[in-house]
Copies of this chain bind each other. A is one copy, B any other.
Amino acid sequence: MSLPSIGVGLIGCGTVGSGVVELLQDLRELYARRLGVELQLRRVLVRPQDVNYKTERVPAEALVTDPEAFFATEDMPVLVELGGGRGAISEFVRRGLAMGKHVVTANKALLAAEGPELFALAREHNASIGFEASCAGGIPLITALNFGLMANRIQAMYGILNGTCNYILTQMTAHGAQYGDALAEAQARGFAEADPTLDVGGGDTAHKLAIMASLAFGCQVSDKAIPCTGINTLDLSDVRFGAELGYEMKLLGLAERIEDDNAVALNLAVQPCFIHREEPLAQVSGSFNAISIFGDAVGQTMYVGRGAGKEPTASAVVSDILNIAAGWYPKAFSQLKLWPDQQAPARLLDPRENQARFYLRFNALDRPGVMAAIATALGDAGVSLSGIIQHESRAGEFVPLVMTTHEAKQGSLEDALNQIKQRDFIEGEPVVIRVIEMPPG
C-alpha cells in the first residue's frame, strides 16, 4: 500500500540545502514510518550559477532555475527557504505564504527584521512558519521554549549563540592566542567566513537573540534595538585577568526580565561577558553553542549542541518539515499566542538602569594615591569593589589595574568612569566587561 505524500519545495541548495536533500533521501523510510506520510521533494530552485556539486543529489527533473516554474509546481504545500539574506528571498517567502504554503527557514536575518510581518502573513493565509534552524542550529531550542517550557514565565536567557566567536574565545583562553591569530585559525579551519564581521561583531548573535527573546518574553524585539559589542575589539590581557579571577570570557546574547514598580522591562544585550568557571555555561567550549534559560518554575535549564554546519542545521530544518507535515505544528501555530505578530513591542530597560557586576581595567599610573582615588570616585557613585588585581611593577609607569565590582547601576558606573578617565593618572579608555551572576536555579 502506498502512503499519501506531502510535497516539499526547496529554495537554495548550498551547504545546508544539500544536507536537507540528503536527509530527505537517506532517512526517507524512517520519516515515512514516523509520519505515516511520504515526503516528496518536488522542486529545488537555485540560481543558474549555483548548480554545482551541492545540487548533485537533486533529481534532474526537480532542479529548476526559474522561480515561475518553481511556484507553479502543484501539490507542494511546504516551502523550505535556505537562500539566506533578504530582498528577493523575502519576496519568495511572502509569495509562498500568500499561496498558503507553510514555510521552513533558517534565515535569522530575515526573521529578526521582518518576523512580525511574515508571521502575520502566514496566519492570514492559514499557513505557518517553522524556524527551529534560525537559532542555535541543531539544538531544538525553539521547540523547548515554545512548548517544553510553556508553563514558565521566563526570567532570563544567556546564550553562546555563535560558534565562530566561541571557538576564537576558546583559543584565546586555552592557548593564549591573540584575537587576530585565533580568527585566522578559525578561518583556516572553516569555522569563520572570509568576511567575519557578522559573527565577530555580534550581529549574528543579535539576530538570534531578537528571535528567542520575542518568544521567551512574548513581545516584539528588533535586533536593531539590541546594544551590540563584538569580540573584535577584545584584548587578550582581559581574558587573562578574567581567568586569574576565576572567570571565562564568552560572547553572550543575554535577555533579562526586570520587574520594578509593577512595570516589566527587558534588558537585552550582545557583549563579551565574564562567567564564573564553575557555571555550566562557562564550560561550553570550542564551536559549540549553548543557552541557559531560567524559568520561574523550572529554574535553570541548559541546551548544548552544534549551532551551525550542514548536518546540524539540516536536522532542525527537516524536523520542522516533519512537524508541519504531521499537522500538529500548523495547529499549534494557529492556536497559541506565542509568536511576535501577536505581541506588543518590548519595553526595553534603559541600559543606565541595568544593575549588574562589572570587571574594570584601567591603564593607571603606578604612584601613591591612585588606587585610593579610583576607589573613592567609584564609591562616591555607589559602586563598591569586590576584587582588585595589580601585578608588581616599577613605580612611575602606566600599568593595568583590574577591579571587579559588586552589583551596581550601570549609569552610575559610567558617570564615575567618565570622571576617572579625565584624571592625569589614567591613560586611554577604561575597559568595562559585564560579570554575569546567574540567577538561582
Contacts and interface: CB of A to CB of B under 8 A. Distances in A.
A81 interface: no
A160 interface: no
A25 to B, nearest CB: 13
Contacts of A34: 150, 218, 336-338
A396 interface: no
A36 interface: yes
Contacts of A311: 296-299
Contact of A138 (B139, B298, B303, B338): B298
Interface in A284-302: 284, 288, 295-302
Total copies of this chain within the assembly: 2
A304 B305 contact: no
A33 B218 contact: yes
A123 interface: no
Interface stretch (A43-51, A110-118, A164-172, A323-331): A323-331
B143 A147 contact: yes
Interface in A247-296: 280, 283-284, 288, 295-296
A322 B33 contact: no
A332 B319 CA distance: 13
A152 interface: yes
A1 interface: no
A144 B148 contact: yes
A315 interface: yes
A139 B144 CA distance: 9
B280 A297 contact: no
Interface string A21-34: 00100010011011
A257 to B, nearest CB: 12
A327 B337 contact: no
Nearest to A35: B336
A306 B283 CA distance: 18
A233 interface: no
Contacts of A280: 283-284, 288, 304
Contacts of A148: 132, 140-141, 143-144, 316, 319
A392 to B, nearest CB: 34
A37 B150 CA distance: 14
A316 B152 CA distance: 9
**Residue with the greatest number of chain B CB neighbours at <10 A, chosen from A36, A218, A315, A323:** A315
A210 B350 CA distance: 50
B36 A335 contact: yes
Contact of A283 (B283, B300, B303, B314): B283
B336 A312 contact: no
A314 B152 CA distance: 10
Interface string A331-372: 110011110000000000000000000000000000000000
A255 B307 CA distance: 24
A153 interface: yes
A318 interface: yes
Nearest to A27: B153
16 contacts: A33-B218, A36-B336, A36-B337, A140-B143, A150-B322, A151-B314, A151-B318, A151-B319, A152-B315, A280-B304, A283-B283, A295-B315, A296-B311, A300-B305, A302-B302, A327-B335
